[in-house]
Structure 1
Amino acid sequence: MLRSYWKSRHKRGPGAYALLLRLSAYLCLCACATRRGCAEELGDPKTVVHKDADFEVTYNDTVTSDIQTIYTFNHTVSRNKTEGVRVSVNVQSEQVENPILIVVRQKQAVLSFQVPLILRGLYQRKYPYAHVGRTLCQPQTRALSETQFFFVDVSTLSSQGVHYQLRVSRVDSFTLQTDKKFSFVATPSQPQYFKYVFPDGVDSVIVKVNSQMNFPCSVMSIQDILCPVYDLDNNVAFIGMYQTMTTTAAITVQRKDFPSNSFYVVIVVKTEDEACGGPLRFYPLRPDELIDAGNRSKVLDVVVSPAINSEVYVMGMLFCLGIFLSFYVLTFLVACIENKRLVEEFTLSCPKITLWAKKIGNPQSGFCIRSLQGCTLCAVLLHVSLCLLISERPLDSVGRCRQESLSSVEEDDYDTLADIDSDKNIVRTKKFLCVSDLARKDKRILSKKYQIYFCVLLTLRRNQDICYYNFLCAHPLGALSAFNNILSNLGYVMLGLLFLLIVLQRDIMHNRALLRNDLAALECGIPKHFGLYYAMGTALMMEGLLSACYHVCPNYTNFQFDTSFMYMIAGLCMLKLYQKRHPDINASAYTAYACLAAVIFFSVLGVVFGKDNTAFWIVFSIIHILATLLLSIQLYYMGRWRLDSGILRRMLYVIYTDCIRQCSGPMYIDRMVLLVMGNIVNWSLAAYGLIERPNDFASYLLAIAICNLLLYFAFYIIMKLRSNERIQFLALVCILFTAVVWGFALFFFFQGLSTWQKTPAESREHNRDCILLSFFDDHDIWHFLSSIAMFGSFLVLLTMDDDLDTVQRDKIYVF
């Protein structure tokens, strides 16, 4: 086009060539303009002023719409050394309608910005900055050393002269050194970034940025060595990894993620503080109104340190495995010691049994069973052959009993008690109940009933979202950002499996005793039902799995899923405590899990709607109090009451007869004491929630469950001692050991290394370095200790009534 235009003009005279050159120069100027385009008419080009400029010199000049100034700089670029170059521009005029346009043209890169720089905040609020400083991108060179030129073009569309100051300087310490702290100042219009090169032998580093100033809010970003560098508030999140920060930020960077073996550390100060939990500024009346940004400079320091190597990873994993495998070894040793003691007891009793066998002529007298009532399970196994030889009970009858126990009989198909309903009411309203009164249903039915707990338990799942880590001790492995927080959950799985093996062993021994018609198993001790124990062990394993999933990306939206099995464990423990003395009237699995599902449902509602929602807290508090009252009535009357239209009339009648007509105390004093204390605790917790409205609703619900569990457990222990029952040595050791471990576990839990109740930047203020093997932090130690404590708590529930294994059930009190 230009060539044909030149030919047509050349025929008319020699001035055509000059005009063509003039037009070409103007088109080149237009190519350097910004989004505003060329403001001049064709034929009215700007006057271009070229200036050779030097580093570290401040140029005071004036620019208008008719004059464009180009500053030419040159510097030596070395392949083995990177020097930062920074351009700073300051204007005195506050007009933003026609700002100064700065275009920096480099080899392989172009940077442009305007002064005053307009940065937008929340609700599109505008903040002008008259002083702008930008670091130039440094493209890599293949030559050992070469001289490169770059140009700084200054232009404006303002017809009036705009005075400005321009300074180009070299950045000291542009390349960060390992383990060497570097301090600097940054503002929203003067971001900073630095380069780091991985040294030989270092595959992972942790970049830490600290400040003594909480605000203004800042962003640390890790970006690859590419141009352009995204170093403004409105684009810093486009690429790479980034964190908002107040006082602390830390990111672990791995060499494999950066092909050039180097990366940029970018620091940007945000225009507003809402992202860091700061106050929300006044919203302007007009959307286009300019707001004074104020002084938003921030002093920071950055240090890059080598992260842990593969040997520390291996040591951490071996330590974790060793801790929990030791419990397997300890359990095996205890079993061997107990076995040895039982063999010695059997050896001492063997001559007497042989003598009795010779003297007794009637094999149906059951001498072998009665003589072994005080023996333990291992001794009983050694006597099986003798009992079978002198018993006339055929083996096929044993097989038939086993087949009958597997029959599909549902508890609700018929009343499994032999008594009529009125007799059932009479039995359960006795002033002093024994376990035999509440252990009359067929053991086959109850076993199937409690096995359902284990089956239904396996139906829960969970989710994940935005992440809150302890970034000062977050060791990545593959796609996992904090592998140490996931590995430390291994204890829940391993100890849950160990508990299941212990329960399985007891279950097998008990079933063998039942097949032999052992009177000690049939008529003595607390009825053995292991379904809830299996559910507890499985819940402990699932808690470990879900906690590990939660720590893949911990945040406020998925925390309630992590706590779901905590609710399950607390609920199952309370059910097991109640089942020990009330096997016939304990809640079914469907009812129990329906209640726990309601708790989890309220947990989700509380996380989503509970914060500062008065209506939600009123409704929840009312439901909490009503549920406590209904459960109290259920426990006090042993389930022998009906919720129907006549309940109010019956309540008024009881109040009239027992409180007004005659002042009589409660018939079941022990139960009344427990229920009064329980109501006081739960009503107090409901009032606290309604008044304080805690942000962490999931933990609030968990606190309610734990308080009720501890209250009931304390009541159980007190009543056990009050009933002249004793706690065996093994159970006592488990109780003391578990209490000590729980104390240390809670200490580490309340260290609070991160919290999703605040913004990510505020959460990072609580981050701390690793304290164990340079691999585990305080929260990992909480995982270790809490898994051990839960395992110990389960052992307490399993062994605390072993002293009753030789006591007739009609002599064991219900409480």
Structure 2
Amino acid sequence: MLLRSCWKSRHKNSPGPAPCCWIRPGLAALLWLCVTQLACGTGAVGETKNVVQKDAEFDVTYNDTVTSENQTIYAFNHTVSRNKGVHVSVDVLSQGLESPILFVVRQKQAVLSFQVPLILRGLYQRKYPYNHVGRTLCQPPTRAASETQYFFVDVSTLSSQGTNYQLRVSRVESFTLQTDKKFTFTASPSQPQYFKYVFPDGVDTVIVKVNSDMNFPCSVMSIQDIQCPVYDLDNNVAFIGMYQTMTKKGAITVQRKDFPSNSFYVVVVVKTEDEACGGPLRFYPLRPDELIDAGNRTKILDVMVSPAIDSKVYVMGMLFCLGIFFSFYLLTFLVACMENKRSVIAKKNAQTEILNLVGRSRQESLSSVEEDDYDTLDDINSDKNIVRTKKFLCVSDLARKDKRVLSKKYQIYFWNIATIAVFYALPVIQLVITYQTVVNVTGNQDICYYNFLCAHPLGALSAFNNILSNLGYVMLGLLFLLIVLKRDIVHNRALVRNDLNALECGIPKHFGLFYAMGTALMMEGLLSACYHVCPNYTNFQFDTSFMYMIAGLCMLKLYQKRHPDINASAYTAYACLAAVIFFSVLGVVFGKGNTVFWIVFSVIHILATLLLSTQLYYMGRWRFGKITTLGSCAGWCTSSTQTCIRQCSGPMYIDRMVLLVMGNIVNWSLAAYGLIERPNDFASYLLAIAICNLLLYFAFYIIMKLRSGERIQCLALVCILFTAVVWGFALYFFFQGLSTWQKTPAESREHNRDCILLSFFDDHDIWHFLSSIAMFGSFLVLLTMDDDLDTVQRDKIYVF
């Protein structure tokens, strides 16, 4: 009966068929029944609306009035074209409405409805009304190039007062985007825009770029399949497809395989608020139902779709990456061949000199002595105090322990870091796979901070190029392990044949720390690749954890060279590094703007510096005594006073004092900087502390080496110069800052840049290339810098 009355009322003033009352099978019939009832409408029980249908035309503005007693239907005869769209624009002229006007647009395969004023909600459910609304009609797929269809715009309201409105329907001539052609348009929260793009033949991947000269208002760009309805409002744009917030820049790479129709919509929506893009938080409404004036939130943007790289560029990028690092394998092989020839000649000459100078050969102990056996005997402790407190020390004074004991001690570094790597990497890999899956399923590209202008997908990975560029760490780390293994084998063979150079000369050869360094470099590559699967705020520590390890191991290796007997154990060293990583996590989570955290960290930093300085100055031969009686306390005070008086005449170990004073100045300055500036990127700040200390100690080592009359061989000198140059270029590309998780995703995208190498790699990829080479070079420097001492007796090599 309801449908029959609706039919009669619609045909009272219109002789033609009334499409509003068509009955469709299945769910479509149920939906149509609901829409028909809403369009026909009833006031009180038994009251019937006066329905008027008008033949309407495009590009004509219709001024009309609607009340609860009348309803107007505008009928448009439309030729549907694949390249053109239809835009409906509505203005409500009356103010202070008790009830909004409902507009229902009925197409052949879609129904679009919206009310005016359009109420959009922001953060904390704040309400923003819009009296001017513009919507683009979705374009159902058609087999023919063009097809004639009717569509209808129904206007109704439940308000008893007359409400004035304006309606205008126009064609969108530039609805379909052209490849490599920029199109400029205007959008607002109530007037979203979307356009269609069809993949041309031979193009499987494109990159959609949306740009604006205006930071705000905040916007969202979305890529959606060709279907109805199109989700083009702030409160539903994230329902389907891929989307990302943007201020000035937005870019999404789209692959043909993801869209069966070989086409997609580019949707641009202006948000009602700017908080998602880092803008200010607006005031709270006084009442929960209060409407807030959104102001002018119109934004001018332009969109351009360009073909992305093809498979040939992928292949070239991979071959380039492999070629660079395999060239290091080839170069290493050539250098090794030349070094072998040189060492054979040098060894014959040196063996004769050593036989004339050294008439004895220290024999290896056959007992399985442990390191703790040395450290617990009273006579050994007394011997330590005598030896280590001498004003001038030689390496022979600090290389007194059995070399097999020390080798076992330093091999623990390698096995511990290998164990850490396995247990650290497995959950990291699982986590980033989950991140990538979430991005692919939800389409939310705000989760990961890529350089979207140079992010080349491969399979499920969104930025394959950023992952591939980490291959250098793994390959060069493996190469360093092979170099160390070769040296280890050569040294062990020399020990077996009782070679006097190996037994009596040079810096004692212990390779455990070198093995640990090579493993750490490989793990840095693996974890950096994991981080770049989905770089963001929560997993940045994956990219830096093994950098702390590398810096710490390098400092330990430098110290071990001249202090093999008293270097830290693996357990102590890794415990300290674990504490560093622990503070890194705390700093990332709680450090931003937290005064208490920065005070605590700065105090701990300074105390740790003082404690380490004391340990290094006295070479471990100091400790706090137990004060149990007044007499012992007085004795301790007297002894301390005498020590201070002696020290006031001048430090006994001037070189060590200079290093430690400079180290304290640097570290106290860094602590003060952190306390005052409170940098947002705490992990990088902590890494800067480690690198500054490493560079300071390395510079001190080189200066003291030259000052002691030692020289740097050609190979080591070439490594030093090459590594310094590469580090300089690497840091330049590192500070380009293509993205940053310290800001919102939209603000991060403002720093995005196009690829600069082979149309495949960006600045950060080049940082990966150069930094892996620089780290490899740094390791070679540590490995070769004391090769000039291989024929010098250890009692003639100074400790510093």
TM-score by length of 2: 0.90
1:255-308 Cα shifts (integer Å, max 9, x gaps): 011100000000000000001111111112222211111110000000000000
**Residue 673 of structure 2 is aligned with which of 663, 675, 688?**
688
Alpha-carbon distance, 1:333 to partner? 1.0
- Identify the residue that residue 15 of structure 1 maps to in structure 2: none
**Residue 739 of structure 2 is aligned with which of 751, 754, 758?**
754
Alpha-carbon distance, 1:411 to partner? 2.3
Return the alpha-carbon distance in structure 1 between the equivalents of residues 448 and 109 of structure 2. 37
Return the alpha-carbon distance in structure 1 between the equivalents of residues 599 and 529 of structure 2. 34
Return the alpha-carbon distance in structure 2 between the equivalents of residues 430 and 37 of structure 1. 104
Return the alpha-carbon distance in structure 2 between the equivalents of residues 369 and 589 of structure 1. 38
> Within 5 Å, which residues of 2 pair with 1:79-94?
81-94=82-95
Change (3 A) 1:71 1:436: same
**Residue 794 of structure 1 is aligned with which of 753, 756, 779?**
779
Deviating more after overlay: 31-40 vs 322-331: 31-40
Change (3 A) 1:680 1:28: closer
CA contact (8 A) 1:489 1:783 kept: yes
CA contact (8 A) 1:438 1:581 kept: yes
- Identify the residue that residue 359 of structure 1 maps to in structure 2: none
Q: Is 1:68 the counterpart of 2:62 in the alignment? A: no
Alpha-carbon distance, 1:368 to partner? 7.6
CA contact (8 A) 1:417 1:440 kept: no
Q: Which amino acid aligns with 2:80?
A: V
1:348-403 Cα shifts (integer Å, max 9, x gaps): 97xxx9xxxxxxxxxxxxx88955999xxxxxxxxxxxxxxxxxx9xxxx9xx89x
CA contact (8 A) 2:39 2:154 kept: no
Change (3 A) 1:173 1:637: same
- Identify the residue that residue 430 of structure 1 maps to in structure 2: 390
> Within 5 Å, which residues of 2 pair with 1:593-612?
593-612=574-593
Q: Which amino acid aligns with 1:630?
A: L
Q: Which amino acid aligns with 2:712?
A: I
CA contact (8 A) 1:429 1:637 kept: yes
Return the alpha-carbon distance in structure 2 between the equivalents of residues 331 and 759 of structure 1. 45
- Identify the residue that residue 337 of structure 2 maps to in structure 1: 336
1:429-454 Cα shifts (integer Å, max 9, x gaps): 11111111111111111111111111
> Within 5 Å, which residues of 2 pair with 1:520-531?
520-531=501-512
- Identify the residue that residue 669 of structure 1 maps to in structure 2: 654
1:144-172 Cα shifts (integer Å, max 9, x gaps): 54311111110111100000000111112
- Identify the residue that residue 535 of structure 2 maps to in structure 1: 554
> Within 5 Å, which residues of 2 pair with 1:503-652?
503-643=484-624, 645-646=626-627
Partner of 1:551, secondary structure, is helix
Change (3 A) 1:542 1:290: same
CA contact (8 A) 1:63 1:161 kept: yes
> Within 5 Å, which residues of 2 pair with 1:647-726?
653=638, 656-659=641-644, 663-726=648-711
Alpha-carbon distance, 1:341 to partner? 3.5
Q: Is 1:77 the counterpart of 2:80 in the alignment? A: yes
Q: Is 1:496 the counterpart of 2:497 in the alignment? A: no
TM-score by length of 1: 0.88
- Identify the residue that residue 723 of structure 2 maps to in structure 1: 738
CA contact (8 A) 1:373 1:806 kept: no
Return the alpha-carbon distance in structure 2 between the equivalents of residues 649 and 302 of structure 1. 82
- Identify the residue that residue 314 of structure 1 maps to in structure 2: 315
Q: Is 1:97 the counterpart of 2:82 in the alignment? A: no
Partner of 2:279, secondary structure, is coil
CA contact (8 A) 2:530 2:542 kept: no
Partner of 1:45, secondary structure, is coil
Alpha-carbon distance, 1:32 to partner? 2.2
Alpha-carbon distance, 1:39 to partner? 5.7
Change (3 A) 1:35 1:695: farther
Alpha-carbon distance, 1:410 to partner? 4.0
- Number of residue pairs aligned between Structure 1 and Structure 2: 753
Q: Which amino acid aligns with 2:265?
A: Y
Alpha-carbon distance, 1:82 to partner? 3.2
Return the alpha-carbon distance in structure 2 between the equivalents of residues 710 and 788 of structure 1. 17
Return the alpha-carbon distance in structure 2 between the equivalents of residues 691 and 632 of structure 1. 24
Alpha-carbon distance, 1:660 to partner? 5.5
Change (3 A) 1:613 1:190: same
Partner of 2:465, secondary structure, is helix
Rg larger in 1 or in 2? 1
Q: Which amino acid aligns with 2:408?
A: K
Alpha-carbon distance, 1:669 to partner? 1.0
CA contact (8 A) 1:61 1:164 kept: yes
> Within 5 Å, which residues of 2 pair with 1:240-389?
240-342=241-343, 370=354
CA contact (8 A) 1:215 1:273 kept: yes
Alpha-carbon distance, 1:663 to partner? 3.4
1:764-804 Cα shifts (integer Å, max 9, x gaps): 11011111111111001100100000000000000001111
Alpha-carbon distance, 1:131 to partner? 0.3
Partner of 2:577, secondary structure, is helix
- Identify the residue that residue 27 of structure 2 maps to in structure 1: none
> Within 5 Å, which residues of 2 pair with 1:117-136?
117-136=118-137
Partner of 2:89, secondary structure, is strand
CA contact (8 A) 1:450 1:589 kept: yes
Deviating more after overlay: 666-675 vs 126-135: 666-675
Q: Which amino acid aligns with 1:449?
A: K
- Identify the residue that residue 442 of structure 2 maps to in structure 1: none
CA contact (8 A) 1:233 1:271 kept: yes
Return the alpha-carbon distance in structure 1 between the equivalents of residues 739 and 93 of structure 2. 45
CA contact (8 A) 1:735 1:796 kept: yes
Change (3 A) 1:701 1:527: same
Partner of 1:119, secondary structure, is strand
Root-mean-square deviation over aligned CA pairs: 2.8
CA contact (8 A) 1:219 1:269 kept: yes
CA contact (8 A) 1:183 1:299 kept: yes
Partner of 1:420, secondary structure, is helix
Alpha-carbon distance, 1:113 to partner? 0.5
Q: Which amino acid aligns with 2:746?
A: A
- Identify the residue that residue 188 of structure 1 maps to in structure 2: 189
- Identify the residue that residue 46 of structure 1 maps to in structure 2: 49
Q: Which amino acid aligns with 2:143?
A: R
Return the alpha-carbon distance in structure 2 between the equivalents of residues 28 and 437 of structure 1. 92
Return the alpha-carbon distance in structure 1 between the equivalents of residues 797 and 641 of structure 2. 35
Q: Which amino acid aligns with 2:553?
A: L
Q: Is 1:784 the counterpart of 2:775 in the alignment? A: no
Change (3 A) 1:271 1:653: farther
Return the alpha-carbon distance in structure 1 between the equivalents of residues 208 and 626 of structure 2. 68
Q: Which amino acid aligns with 1:767?
A: N
Change (3 A) 1:683 1:432: same
CA contact (8 A) 2:40 2:51 kept: no
Change (3 A) 1:33 1:567: farther
**Residue 404 of structure 2 is aligned with which of 444, 460, 464?**
444
Change (3 A) 1:343 1:660: closer
CA contact (8 A) 2:83 2:174 kept: no
Return the alpha-carbon distance in structure 2 between the equivalents of residues 694 and 195 of structure 1. 44
